[in-house]
């Protein structure tokens, strides 16, 4: 996710802008920039790479001024480069803006502004913002920003300044975070609290739709043009707590961030023009898609489990065979594929050595390669023919959570894209699924809001055991595999996942003495089968923990602990079902005193074989 910093006060702005960006580095970025106003002019410096690169590029230069804005960019539209870095200015260079989020209607706005004579120098969505403000500017920056804001669709946290109407900064917020800091020597904007520590002792978090004006004398918050009284809080966090967003661990922060990550992953990808799904400029067009007669999905760990969701979904939607492969096995077994095979490689980091090598093997055999990854311009992204970015934002905890759910979302979007290209689904069917996809972020939020108590109870009980079993059927079995990995890798409980119908072929021998059996049951066509499998475990004294939809009665009747999920389409259930499993693993790990964010023996990105 991008980082924003802004300052106006008595001191020189540059030191805070640089230090503020450095405290936001943990958010992940690929370029940085500053804009400082002084005596009628805005000076802008932008540099691809780390903040140290930016500092090197301005070394020896005198960039004075007591008001400025700064930005670290996590690329979503337009590759990392100096001209795509923020701050962006309007054609005449009078308005400077930094932005975090995605302007969904940027193409429409850009065309309109180009028709009016504005020129653009970047590939970013952000660049429409300063030009739109300039279009409405008649001497008052705040008025122009409010008019421009009314035209924006999508997510944004943006801070703006003008060299024609200086001496204040304007901040606007919709979905992406923006914080206002009240300082003794001036006032501040920042994407997150770490940047403000040591500079302010009070802050307010801008709410969606609010506009903030900060100047040397104070802060004013507006709603629909009217000044309102903000909720001002004392800043008491230390830097470590602040980087975790106030949570005890990055993993919990990243689990809680999933509704926003899912919205970012969806943002701008549902078009209603010639196609319903807009995944950008994929080389896999209708002609190529027509010739695809097999899909191979390759990954490691959690990404491998996301691929398995893809297999069930693609075989249902596209009716072509889908093979799912562990990358370290795939690369050495001389796999059978050719130019009619689509190989999809999934990787959060985009740097996993085995997955990268599997990609090379598939490419060598003539397969078309699609990468689904979270890191812009990562090795896997660069080597693939096509890329879909999950836009989950940086994931720091070793245990992958928001990367997994956004990988699955990207897999759904691509499946609908292919179904449309290959004429496997009519638009109404696609629309039904998309409408429900758009409801998933709020349903994930509902699970987090409504179920923490029952989930903590489940985790506390499971944490008392050294073994645990996850069972399910169809898509539930696939998610059970991810649930077992989550619990295993951060609580060190020996957890295994089994197809529920497979229990009686061996594993049932281990279901004794109240051992936890976590049962996933969202696939309604298999519910009765699943209930009988649960009974098999229950009658052998297994302790039953079930995850099912609200309103279900059959499963709770044979369970001791139940976590209810808001209803969704069976096909889309994995994105909801995994949330309780992530939280169970998290709380069990905390209960057992394990190192949640950095579990023993594991690394976040396995860049060696
Ligand atoms: C998942 O919680 C683990 N951290 C691990 O299995 C991870 O998913 C695997 O190493 C693949 O990483 P990648 O997605 O970056 O390729």
Q: What is the per-residue pLDDT for 394?
A: 83
Q: Which of 185, 216, 241 lies at the terminal end of a domain, its last residue? A: 241
Pull the structure tokens for residue 291.
């010739």
Distance 288 CA to ligand 1 centre (A): 30
Pull the structure tokens for residue 512.
């004794």
Q: Indicate whether 156 and 258 sit together in one domain.
A: no
**What DSSP element (H or E) covers 460?**
helix 440-462
Query: Among 176-185, 358-367, 373-382, 566-575, which stretch is predicted with the lowest mean pLDDT?
Result: 373-382
More reliable by pLDDT, 608 or 598: 598
Say if CB 113 and CB 119 are below 8 A apart. Answer: no
Using alpha carbons, select from 270, 280, 400 the residue that is nearest to residue 348: 400
Residue 435, domain member (yes or no): no
Query: Among 25-29, 41-45, 216-220, 420-424, which stretch is predicted with the lowest mean pLDDT?
Result: 25-29
Q: Indicate whether 471 and 562 sit together in one domain.
A: yes
Q: What is the per-residue pLDDT for 601?
A: 82
Q: Indicate whether 256 and 237 sit together in one domain.
A: no
Q: Indicate whether 178 and 94 sit together in one domain.
A: yes
Residue 604, domain member (yes or no): no
pLDDT higher than 90, residue 134 = yes
Q: What is the per-residue pLDDT for 273?
A: 66
Q: Which of 189, 209, 241 lies at the terminal end of a domain, its last residue? A: 241
Q: What is the per-residue pLDDT for 448?
A: 97
Q: What is the per-residue pLDDT for 304?
A: 98
Question: What would the pLDDT profile of 84-122 be if each residue is shown by its tens digit?
Answer: 899 999 999 999 999 998 898 999 999 999 999 999 999
Spatial distance between the Cα atoms of 320 and 295, rounded to a whole number of angstroms: 7
The neighbouring-strand residues paired with 343 are: 296, 369
Q: Is residue 585 very low, low, confident or very high in pLDDT (cuts 50, 70, 90)?
A: very high
Q: Indicate whether 457 and 567 sit together in one domain.
A: yes
The DSSP bridge pattern shows strands 467-472 and 516-521 to be parallel
Q: Which of 396, 425, 454 lies at the terminal end of a domain, its last residue? A: 425
**Minimal-distance CA residue to ligand 1 atom 6:** 301
Interior/surface letters 385-395, b for 16+ CB within 10 angstroms, e for the rest: bbbbbbbbbbb
Q: Indicate whether 192 and 276 sit together in one domain.
A: no
Task: Indicate if ligand 1 lies below 6 Å from the C-beta of 398.
Answer: yes
Task: Indicate if ligand 1 lies below 6 Å from the C-beta of 546.
Answer: no
Spatial distance between the Cα atoms of 444 and 566, rounded to a whole number of angstroms: 9
Residue 414, domain member (yes or no): yes
Total domains present in the chain? 3
Q: Indicate whether 87 and 29 sit together in one domain.
A: yes
Residue showing tokens 């969704």: 568
Task: Indicate if ligand 1 lies below 6 Å from the C-beta of 355.
Answer: yes
Pull the structure tokens for residue 136.
């409405």
Which atom of ligand 1 has the smallest separation from the CA of 403? 14
Q: Indicate whether 375 and 451 sit together in one domain.
A: no
Say if CB 185 and CB 11 are below 8 A apart. Answer: yes
- Helix/strand/coil (H, E, C) string of 183-235? ECCEEEEECCHHHHECCEEEEEECCCCCEEEECCCCEEEEECCEEECCCCEEC
Give yes or no: 265 in active site. Answer: no
Going by the DSSP 8-state scheme, the letter that residue 87 receives in this structure is P
Q: What is the per-residue pLDDT for 192?
A: 86
Spatial distance between the Cα atoms of 606 and 355, rounded to a whole number of angstroms: 10
Residue 109, domain member (yes or no): yes
**Catalytic residue chosen out of the listed positions 316, 422, 424, 604:** 604
Give yes or no: 2 in active site. Answer: yes
Give the CA count within 13 Å in the CB-facing half-sphere of 339: 3
Q: Indicate whether 261 and 179 sit together in one domain.
A: no
Residue 432, domain member (yes or no): no
- Classify residue 190 as exposed, middle or buried by CB count within 10 Å of its CB (0-12, 13-18, 19+): buried
Q: What is the per-residue pLDDT for 272?
A: 66
Mean pLDDT within 289-307: 97
Residue 84, domain member (yes or no): yes
Q: What is the per-residue pLDDT for 606?
A: 75
Using alpha carbons, select from 508, 511, 436, 523 the residue that is nearest to residue 477: 523
Q: Is residue 531 very low, low, confident or very high in pLDDT (cuts 50, 70, 90)?
A: very high
Distance 575 CA to ligand 1 centre (A): 17
The rounded radius of gyration (Å) of the Cα atoms in the chain is: 25
Q: What CATH code is carried by the domain that includes residue 557? A: 3.40.50.10490
Pull the structure tokens for residue 409.
């979302």
Distance between start and end Cα atoms, the chain: 29
Residue 531, domain member (yes or no): yes
Work out the mean pLDDT of the chain and round it to a whole number.
Answer: 93
Q: Indicate whether 106 and 216 sit together in one domain.
A: yes
The boundaries of the domain holding residue 276 are 251-425
Q: Indicate whether 220 and 284 sit together in one domain.
A: no
Q: What CATH code is carried by the domain that includes residue 205? A: 3.60.20.10
Question: What would the pLDDT profile of 334-353 be if each residue is shown by its tens digit?
Answer: 999 999 999 999 999 998 98
pLDDT higher than 80, residue 561 = yes
pLDDT higher than 80, residue 418 = yes
**Catalytic residue chosen out of the listed positions 2, 265, 307, 521:** 2
Task: Indicate if ligand 1 lies below 6 Å from the C-beta of 390.
Answer: no
Can you tell me whether residue 541 is helix, strand or coil? coil
Spatial distance between the Cα atoms of 173 and 187, rounded to a whole number of angstroms: 17
% residues pLDDT > 70 (the chain): 99
Residue 186, domain member (yes or no): yes
Can you tell me whether residue 178 is helix, strand or coil? coil
Q: Indicate whether 79 and 147 sit together in one domain.
A: yes
Pull the structure tokens for residue 552.
């279900």
The DSSP bridge pattern shows strands 200-205 and 233-234 to be antiparallel
């Amino acid at each position: 996710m991008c980082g924003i910093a802004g300052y106006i006060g008595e001191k020189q702005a540059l030191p805070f802008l640089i230090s503020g960006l450095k405290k936001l580095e943990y958010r992940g970025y690929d370029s940085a920039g500053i804009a400082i106003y002084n005596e009628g002019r805005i000076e802008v410096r932008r540099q691809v790479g780390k903040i140290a690169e930016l500092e090197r590029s301005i070394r020896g230069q005198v960039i004075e001024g007591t008001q400025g804005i700064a930005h670290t960019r996590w690329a979503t539209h337009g590759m990392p480069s100096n001209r795509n870095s923020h701050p962006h200015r309007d054609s005449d260079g009078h308005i400077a803006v930094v932005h975090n989020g995605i302007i969904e209607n940027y193409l429409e706005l850009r065309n309109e502004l180009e028709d009016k004579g504005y020129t653009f120098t970047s590939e970013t969505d952000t660049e429409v913002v300063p030009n739109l403000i300039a279009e409405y500017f008649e001497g008052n920056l705040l008025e122009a920003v409010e008019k421009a804001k009314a035209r924006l669709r999508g997510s944004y946290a943006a801070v703006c300044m003008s060299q024609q109407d200086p001496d204040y900064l304007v901040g606007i917020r919709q979905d992406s975070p923006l914080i206002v800091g009240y300082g003794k020597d001036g006032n501040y904007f920042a994407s997150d609290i770490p940047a403000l520590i040591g500079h302010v002792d009070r802050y307010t978090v801008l709410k969606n739709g609010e506009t903030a004006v900060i100047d040397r004398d104070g802060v004013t918050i507006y709603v629909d043009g009217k000044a309102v009284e903000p909720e001002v809080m004392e800043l008491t966090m230390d830097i470590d707590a602040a980087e975790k967003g106030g949570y005890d661990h990055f993993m919990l922060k990243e689990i809680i961030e999933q509704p926003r990550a899912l919205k970012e992953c969806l943002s701008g990808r549902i078009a209603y023009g010639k196609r319903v799904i807009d995944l950008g400029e994929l080389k896999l067009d209708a002609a190529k898609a027509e010739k695809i007669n097999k899909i191979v999905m390759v990954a490691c760990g959690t990404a491998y489990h996301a691929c398995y969701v893809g297999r069930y979904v693609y075989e249902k939607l596209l009716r072509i065979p889908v093979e799912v492969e562990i990358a370290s096995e795939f690369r050495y077994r001389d796999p059978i594929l050719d130019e009619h095979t689509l190989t999809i490689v999934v990787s959060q980091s985009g740097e996993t050595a085995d997955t990268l090598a599997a990609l090379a093997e598939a490419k060598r055999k003539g397969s078309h390669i699609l990468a689904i990854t979270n890191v812009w311009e990562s090795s896997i992204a660069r080597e693939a023919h096509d890329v879909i970015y999950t836009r989950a934002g940086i994931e720091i905890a070793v245990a992958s959570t928001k990367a997994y759910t956004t990988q699955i979302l990207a897999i759904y979007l691509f499946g609908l894209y292919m179904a449309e290209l290959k004429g496997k689904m009519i638009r109404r069917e696609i629309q039904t699924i998309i409408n429900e996809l758009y409801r998933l972020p709020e349903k994930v939020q509902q699970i987090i809001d409504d179920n923490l108590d029952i989930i903590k109870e489940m985790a506390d009980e499971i944490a008392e055991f050294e073994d645990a079993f996850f069972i399910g059927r169809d898509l539930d079995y696939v998610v059970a595999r991810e649930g077992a990995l989550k619990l295993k890798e951060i609580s060190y409980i020996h957890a295994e996942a089994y197809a529920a119908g497979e229990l009686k072929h061996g594993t049932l021998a281990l279901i004794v003495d109240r051992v936890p059996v976590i049962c996933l049951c969202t696939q309604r066509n298999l519910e009765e089968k699943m209930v009988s499998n649960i009974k098999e475990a229950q009658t052998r004294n297994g302790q039953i923990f079930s995850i099912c939809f609200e309103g279900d009665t059959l499963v709770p009747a044979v369970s001791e602990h139940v976590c209810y999920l808001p209803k969704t389409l069976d096909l889309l259930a994995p994105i909801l079902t995994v949330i309780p499993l992530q939280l169970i693993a998290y709380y069990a790990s905390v209960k057992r005193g394990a190192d949640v964010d950095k579990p023993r023996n594991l690394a976040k990105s396995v860049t060696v074989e």
